[in-house]
């Protein structure tokens, strides 16, 4: 798994540099940010590469920790079924594979995984699991969550995705949850929220949980807006020692604005906001972005 992670990071870094050569400027990366309610354009490979170089370590360690906790609390008899809404490149699946390998197992042995995303992300990997399905599409086009891929899911995860719906889209998502049929007695809802907009994301998740309680008869004992996070932020390697970020990539991204071909040829920025909006792409290598909860629903 370590070599798998190393190859994703090395691949993303090489592809990122190749994309930069091709584009000839870093301008489009100025919109790769989440402040001012920005949602990046993930359809651009250059943005995906920058996203993975920045967030892959932090989110991988978060999802690994989530699934480790989930597997400790729940001994599934046989294979279990996971639905990941807004799965991206399947980063949560990477985390699940890591957690299972630590227990001497693997997704291939234990998991039916269905990931849905509007965007067909690069670097997705099924780790040899034939029961890994990816649907490129809008979750809002589905009539009934429980019918996706003919599955009745044990785990539904929103990996940093619930806040990325427009308000009117989120309303439609709630309607889908209302009209879906859930036949399982137990259902695990996993919510991992974005640090920058955690209030919006946790409130949205709480409203989905209320639908599952009020319309589907589940009870949710946990407080709906209490999340696990690290008050004292530490390095990711405290939790996953094997994760070593390639130093060359780290240094490159730490002074990214200087790598812009236009900056190099003009010896100055083209626009006032170049420095500010390009200098915040450094990889996240600490626990500051971890914010999640596993809601154990029963009826």
Q: Which residues bind ligand SAM (CB under 6 A)?
A: 42, 59, 86-88, 91, 116-119, 138-140, 159-161, 164-165, 169
The nearest distance, CB 117 to ligand SAM, in angstroms, is 4
Cβ distance to ligand SAM smaller for residue 70 or 260? 70
Instruction: Please tell me the distance from the alpha carbon of residue 77 to that of residue 183, in angstroms, as a whole number.
Output: 18
Cβ distance to ligand SAM smaller for residue 166 or 271? 166
Instruction: Please tell me the distance from the alpha carbon of residue 138 to that of residue 40, in angstroms, as a whole number.
Output: 17
For residue 219, what are the β-bridge partners? 298
The nearest distance, CB 26 to ligand SAM, in angstroms, is 21
Cβ distance to ligand SAM smaller for residue 22 or 166? 166
Rounded-to-5 percentages of helix, strand, coil across the chain: 50, 15, 35
Cβ distance to ligand SAM smaller for residue 25 or 211? 211
In angstroms, what CA-CA distances link 125 with 98, 113, 234? Answer: 13, 12, 29
Cβ distance to ligand SAM smaller for residue 95 or 224? 95
The nearest distance, CB 12 to ligand SAM, in angstroms, is 12
First and final C-alpha spacing in the chain: 37
On whether the CB atoms of residues 122 and 88 are closer than 8 A, the answer is no
The nearest distance, CB 116 to ligand SAM, in angstroms, is 5
The nearest distance, CB 91 to ligand SAM, in angstroms, is 4
DSSP string over 186-211: EEEEEEE--STTHHHHHHHHHHHHHH
């Amino acid at each position: 798994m370590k070599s798998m992670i190393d190859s994703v990071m090395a691949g993303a870094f090489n592809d990122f540099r190749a994309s930069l050569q091709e584009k000839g400027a870093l301008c489009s990366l100025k919109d790769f940010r989440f402040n001012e309610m920005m949602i990046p354009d993930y359809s651009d490979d250059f943005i995906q590469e920058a996203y993975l170089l920045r967030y892959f370590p932090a989110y991988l360690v978060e999802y690994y920790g989530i699934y480790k906790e989930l597997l400790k609390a729940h001994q599934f008899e046989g294979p279990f079924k996971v639905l990941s809404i807004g799965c991206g490149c399947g980063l949560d699946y990477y985390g699940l594979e890591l957690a299972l390998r630590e227990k001497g197992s693997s997704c291939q042995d234990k998991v039916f995984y269905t990931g849905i995303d509007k965007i067909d992300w690069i670097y997705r990997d099924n780790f040899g699991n034939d029961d890994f399905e990816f649907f490129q599409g809008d979750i809002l086009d589905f009539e009934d969550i429980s019918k996706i891929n003919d599955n009745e899911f044990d785990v539904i995860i929103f990996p940093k995705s619930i806040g990325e719906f427009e308000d009117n889209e989120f309303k439609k998502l709630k309607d889908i949850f209302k009209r879906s049929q859930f036949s399982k007695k137990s259902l695990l809802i996993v919510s991992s929220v974005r640090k920058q907009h955690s209030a919006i994301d946790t409130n949205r998740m709480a409203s989905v949980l209320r639908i599952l309680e009020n319309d589907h008869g589940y009870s949710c004992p946990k407080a709906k807006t209490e999340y696990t996070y690290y008050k004292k932020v530490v390095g990711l390697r405290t939790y996953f020692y094997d994760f070593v970020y390639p130093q060359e990539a780290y240094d490159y991204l730490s002074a990214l604005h200087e790598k812009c071909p236009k900056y190099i040829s003009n010896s100055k920025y083209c626009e006032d906001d170049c420095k500010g909006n390009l200098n915040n792409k450094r990889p996240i290598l600490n626990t500051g972005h971890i914010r999640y909860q596993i809601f154990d629903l029963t009826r």
